[in-house]
Amino acid sequence: MGVPLWLILFLYTLQDASPQQSDPCHSYTVLNDDWRVTTTLDRSVIRCDHHVQWHGWYRMFHQGVSVRIPESCVPTFRCSTDATLWLNAPHPRPEDGIVTREVCGHWEGDCCYYKKPSIQVKACPGNYTVYKLVDPGHCYVAYCTEPRTQFQQRLRLKMALQRELSHAEMAQFTSQIREKLIQMGYPSDITVKMV
């Protein structure tokens, strides 16, 4: 009795696939759209990720530097779109492996007005993240990225907060964060508390 051709092809495929090829940290598509950054206010072309044929994993860049999808609400009409997409949970650590995260779309004053299909996320060695992006379902919504400077500021703040801060330092950080949020389009009466 002969071995079916489909079984031979399946076994050959398994033998050929190395662990590195199946790891999304080593097998991803580069997404390098400058318009995706949260500071972009250009409305000349309104972008929509519903028209993209999403396949596999993506690593996001802005001006040649690896960036991430924001973990906090992005004001509407940023990232060259109407409803801005962001992660509604923290990014994983490398030891967490592949995790599933809910994506929210900000619209009509509700940061999670659109609850898009969840995506898979993986933190990779080398301090970058890959995403298994999916069709958000309709227009005009798009995945946003935070500018590298915001990512670097968050890292500096995280490192600073790992030590004991004086009341003056805490007040200064709170004031800087409030000013940045207002610049990003949040209401001027926003309150920032460090807990």
Task: Count the domains in the chain.
Answer: 1
Asked whether 65 and 76 are in contact (CB, 8 A), the reply is: no
Share of the chain above pLDDT 70, in %: 74
Please give the structure tokens belonging to residue 104: 């929210």
What is the bridge-based pairing of β-strands 141-143 and 128-132? Answer: unpaired
Band of residue 91 on the pLDDT scale cut at 50, 70, 90: very high
Residue 190 lies in a domain: no
Residue 184 lies in a domain: no
More confident residue, 187 or 121: 121
* pLDDT tens-digit series, residues 123-174: 999 889 999 999 998 899 999 999 865 555 555 555 555 566 677 777 777 7
Rounded Cα distance, 118 and 35, in Å = 23
Q: pTM, whole model, 2 decimals?
A: 0.66
Residue 44 lies in a domain: yes
Q: Which residues have a Cβ under 8 Å from the Cβ of 89 and sit 6 or more positions away?
A: 71, 101, 102
Q: Which residues have a Cβ under 8 Å from the Cβ of 26 and sit 6 or more positions away?
A: 20
Domain housing 48: 15-146
C-alpha neighbours within 13 Å on the C-beta side of residue 25: 14
Residue 193 lies in a domain: no
Average pLDDT of every residue of the chain: 80
* pLDDT tens-digit series, residues 94-114: 999 999 999 999 999 999 998
Q: Give residue 142's pLDDT.
A: 94
